[in-house]
Chain A
Amino acid sequence: MAKEKAEHNGPDLAQGIALSAFTSETLLGHVDDQDVLLVRFGPEIFAVDAHCSHYHGPLAEGLVVGESIRCPWHHACFDLRTGEATRAPALTPLAVWEVEHEGDRVFVRRRREQTKSWVRSALVNLATSSSSAEERQDSQRPRC
């Protein structure tokens, strides 16, 4: 039987795209079988999962507000830099992807490692670590 070929949106980001491929502030592409959304923010480019972690809404059709994106379906909001779900109804973060610049091309090949913050704090506490407040990473995250 022929191998099933999944349909994907946009270019294969692992193969790289030219910066000129952006016709607006966002660009929808894929890495393997994952849809990934690129968002230009000044000189930076963020890459996150293209679907909302709430009901899988298409973030490419959402609204970019500063360093955040809002889902068109139920108005959930995510921090593009960290993937954090900053406003309900989404409660779980988006995967964030590494963006590599090579000349005037960008490549997306792998997900960034993320730890669930509530697991981190619980584990740290169980280990009775002496470090505490210094480890706060996301308390100053921008509001959207």
Chain B
Amino acid sequence: MLRRQDFRGSIVMLSNDSALPVDRPNLSKDYLAGNAPEDWLPLGLGSFYAEARIDLRLNTEILSIDTKARNVIITGGGIIPFDSLLLATGAEPVKLPIPGADQPHVHTLRSLADCRAIIESLNGARRAIVIGASFIGLEAAAALRRRDIEVHVVAPEQRPMERVLGPDVGKFVRALHEEQGVSFHLSDTVAEIDGKHATLKSGGVLETDVVVVGVGVRPRLGLAERAGLSLERGVSVDRYLETSVAGIYAAGDIARWPDPYSGENIRVEHWVVAERQGQTAARNMLGQREAFDAVPFFWSQHYDLRINYVGHAETWDEIALDSSIAARDCLWRYKRNGRVLAVASIYRDLASLQAELDMERNLMR
């Protein structure tokens, strides 16, 4: 976006990942399922970075940010000066604090390397356990079923995705996965993994070749904290995505911004939000003073079914269903005090787009 806005100065992009930036949603969906070719993954096509003169440095750890001298210090002692800085450090998967979680066949799923490691360990595997029944866990379960792996999902909640999408969607999603052959072990956790044996808290033992852990992520706030930026369960930013230090912006999983629709300061761990914030932050780094007012959106893919979600409802007091779950053509409105905070839908794409627009224009009823 900086280059699209005709910025002609130098751009340095620092990443501690070993891979070029990739289309991350694919890693729990088609790519993991074996349905996406390699060339779908890179975000920058071909020689993008060279052509756009972006000095991308992979495998680079940042030690600190000096907000006074306005530079970044990287391992090896390099000092990179900046006029403007965007922090987009993302999040990292929560590791399970159980015995056996450090074995090579136990994986989290975040990076391309994680995804490839899972695919590698599926070679010759028959059975997998997925720990966690939210987005990453269930998308991974769907992808593994596509590879004809026997899948057991173990999770503490009563219904999958219930915390975000409510009990009805949870029941529906559970039934959908059961139709595809997934076994659920809900209201349960894995207490210990010993080689191919996973012991459940409820007492049973599951045989498995591979374990995928999808129990949430934690925003990577260390750099921001050490730099002295204001934090509030995330990096606090204003409507322009600028942190408490002028010229330093934050976007994506780490940023907590004033959301105009809900009137609350929210932090959202979803791909499209992160990308859109990056775009807005870039324009503001060039002085445009554009408020970030996009309504949060995410989608989640399960087999051939896509759930779209616009808005942000951490809690609600009513869920209104339009149409029928059985017909697989539905739209749920999550309300608090009579106001719609978010809309989830299946096969109601136009209604989802309309809901997004209505929320942007504050016309949502």
Q: Which residue of B lies closest to A122 (CB)?
A: B53
Is the beta-carbon distance between A88 and B6 smaller than 8 angstroms? no
Closest chain B residue, CB of each to CB of A93: B4
Contacts of A122 in B (CB 8 A): 3, 8, 51-53
Within 127-144 of A, Cβ neighbours of B (below 8 Å) are at 132, 135-136, 138-139
B353 closest partner in A (C-beta):
A63
In the docked arrangement, what's the CA distance between A70 and B52, Å?
Answer: 27
Q: Interface stretch among B118-126, B147-155, B269-277?
A: B269-277
B interface residue numbers (CB < 8 A to A): 3-8, 43, 45, 51-53, 271-272, 275-276, 278-279, 294, 297, 299, 306, 308, 310, 349-350, 352-354, 356-357
Which of A62, A84, A116 is the most central at the interface, judged by chain B CB atoms within 10 Å of its CB? A116
Instruction: Tell me how many residues of A have a C-beta within 8 Å of chain B.
Output: 29
Give the residue among B3, B6, B8, B271 with the most A Cβ atoms within 10 A. Answer: B6
Tell me if A119 and B353 are in contact (CB < 8 A).
Answer: no
Residue of B3, B275, B350 touching A63 (CB-CB under 8 A): B350
Q: Which residues of A contact B297 (CB under 8 A)?
A: 74-75
Chain A 75-125 interface residues, beta-carbon cutoff 8 Å to B: 75, 84, 87-89, 91-92, 116-122, 124-125
Instruction: Please judge, given known A-B contacts A74-B272, A118-B51, A119-B51, whether A87 and B294 are in contact too, CB under 8 Å.
Output: yes
B-contact 0/1 string along A56-81, CB 8 Å cutoff: 00000111010000101111000000
B276 lies within 8 A of A73 (CB): no
Q: Chain B residue with minimal CB distance to A136?
A: B6
Nearest-neighbour CB distance to chain A for B153, whole angstroms, equals 25
Q: Which residues of the partner chain B approach A75 to less than 8 Å between Cβ atoms?
A: 272, 297, 308, 310, 352-353, 356
